[in-house]
A and B are shown apart, each in its own frame.
Chain A
Amino acid sequence: MDNLPGLSAHYGQILETLLNQQDNNHPDQSVLRKNALQRLMETGFPSTRDEEWRFTNTKILNETAFRLADTVTNANASQEQNRFDNWPGIRLVFVNGQFMAGLSKNMDPNDRRLSIENTAFIADSEPDGFGLLHLALQNSGLTIRIADNVQLSEPIHLLFIASGADNEMMTPVCDINAGRNSGLTIIENFISSDQNTNFTNTHTRIRLSENASVRHIKIINENIRSYHYGQLRVDQERDSRFQSLAFLFGNKLNRNNISIILNGSGCESLMDGVFAGHRNQHHDVHTLIHHASPHCRSHELYRGILADESSAVFSGKIHVHPDAQKTDALQSNNCLLLSDQATINTKPQLEIYADDVKCTHGATVGQLNEDQIYYLRSRGIPEKKARNILTYAFAREIIEQVETEEVRNYIDQLLLNRLEEDMDFHK
């Protein structure tokens, strides 16, 4: 960060504050935070010179001295959550990265099926610059534990409301642990309460014990001036099943890293998502799946819809370790370019060190099919609507996998708003 003295000074100040703080309850964490910040000041944020960041320009994040947002809620933030009152299950609300027990819903401290504590702290072993920043400045996040053999029928909804002033940053963290034979759906839902330029830097870890089943749904609809860097780290023990569904609509720029490790045999891991860009939005999805055990199956399908001058990056890496025989891995990325100025960089990567495996990948980039448009029009459907129906249908296969109707309708509506279309597809 030497070439950015202003920013360096900014983080130097934060470091000094950290150094002067005595956290007697968590001395280890204190050290990790300081070390992370020191390392960040030495190495800086990633740039397009880094292979993993080649097509995502982080210049603006490098040049803006984001301050940590304070946690005072404003009226907008508390109002925003009313929109989700019809969603079933527990709702845990974060404002500016800080968990707000008072705003949350359906929490029962006597519920013996699960425990929710405000204690989470996550330190990844090899974080990049943004990861270091998160490590140093993360809020005290939520640790959620689902007891063995418990099946939660209703989802746990984590609602993250960005409500900061311009150039403020929020750093939530969640640590989710699913016990043996347990099952749950967890929704991470990111919204903004206003139009300020905020930076959400978030980290979630999910650990699945033997034969656990977890579905994770991430929805981003933060405002179009905001930034988002998200890390999802998943560890799976044997016979566990994990599904990640991502629906990315918001932000001026977002980067979502998903990293999954299959530690035991018989695991299944599904990763599907939709990213929809318009105006000058930039979406970046980086996924990495480690097949570290035999007889595991992974399946990945990402669909992108890019309009106007928007751009996107999809990079999916499958790493099959030497003893991960009988691996069955499939990866696919399809992208729809709705304008001549929209761009996608898609990069599937297979690293296979076992010899008895089935791995396939494919990527397609294209426009809407003119024959289909003609067919719809020849039955009386106006051209714009015909295009919107086909665009919607392209994403539908993934949206349909959301089982909770209220959540699915919300995602539907985000897409239809984007298409400026009023359709009742499910009737």
Chain B
Amino acid sequence: MLKIENLKASVDGKAILKGINLEVRAGEVHAIMGPNGSGKSTLANVLAGRADYQVDEGRVEFRDKDLFEMAPEDRAREGLFLAFQYPVEIPGVSNVYFLKTALNEKRKYQGLEEMDAAAFLKLVRERMKIVDLDKSLLNRSVNEGFSGGEKKRNEIFHMAVLEPTLALLDETDSGLDIDALRIVASGVNQLRNEKNAFIIVTHYQRLLEYIEPDFVHVLHDGRIIRSGGKELALELEEKGYDWLKQGSGESNG
């Protein structure tokens, strides 16, 4: 589904990603962990198409297409979804209008008919339950005045409506209390199936107690220095990142 080969990227001329290799297949959940500044968010945003990130080398194939040939909106309509670390507030645009527009743009792209208001509302009601979203947040402006937890839940709600093939969760767990974390994790678990895949970028091992990953990758200084199963996350929690940094030379999985 996603194949990243030797990806190098920079911001303002500063190299951040220094050769990433990663393959994600349908049905898999990958966790990417790493200390601050290791390039986790850069990776997520380079894949989603943020303009101020410069791709210097390498290629990424998404569903057999060259990802970097596509505009951000086309990547989304092909099935990529980024849950933002800091969801953006959009005053004056209602959450429900935004979502309906996004869904119908995706459907148009796929050659499907636009969804009418009644069918859309039915879908929305159903998907709101997945993250226990307060009904009042539907008609409010996107993220405006939402609490931190509401913003993150809203991201997962968007994901639930748009049903991406590949979802990138950029530190969705950061800043969440344990109840909100459980709701977000349970949302992801309900959406998980054999046809889609998740890349979960996180700073904390905590999230992985609720979402069980198939693979864990440790990012350090723009490279994946270790890959393993879910037990790698536990080991990291015990020993800290320094343990891996020391041995990064020989242990690239």
On A, residues with C-beta under 8 Å from B are 370-372, 374-383, 385-386, 389-390, 392-394, 396-397, 423, 425, 427
Contacts and interface: CB of A to CB of B under 8 A. Distances in A.
Contact of B109 (A380, A383, A386, A389): A380
B8 interface: no
Interface in B97-131: 97-99, 101-103, 105-106, 109, 117
B51 interface: yes
A423 B158 CA distance: 20
Contact of A393 (B50, B51, B84, B91): B91
A380 B106 contact: yes
B48 A380 contact: no
A375 B92 contact: no
Contacts of B117: 427
Contacts of B103: 380
Given A370-B51, A425-B97, A381 B90 contact: no
B93 interface: yes
A380 B93 contact: no
Contacts of A390: 90, 93
Interface string B70-101: 01110111000110100110111100011101
B73 A381 contact: yes
A380 B76 contact: yes
19 contacts: A370-B51, A375-B88, A376-B102, A377-B49, A378-B76, A378-B81, A378-B82, A379-B76, A379-B81, A379-B102, A379-B158, A380-B105, A380-B162, A381-B73, A381-B101, A390-B93, A393-B90, A393-B93, A397-B92
Among B49, B73, B81, B91, max chain A CB count under 10 A is at B73
A372 B91 CA distance: 10
A383 B73 contact: yes
Contacts of B71: 377, 382-383
Contact of B51 (A374, A375, A382, A394): A374
Given A377-B73, A383-B71, A389 B49 contact: no
Nearest to A425: B97
Interface of B: 48-51, 71-73, 75-77, 81-82, 84, 87-88, 90-93, 97-99, 101-103, 105-106, 109, 117, 141, 158, 162
B108 to A, nearest CB: 9
Contacts of B76: 377-380
A380 B73 CA distance: 4
Nearest to A369: B88
A393 B101 CA distance: 14
Contacts of B72: 374, 377-378
B88 A381 contact: no
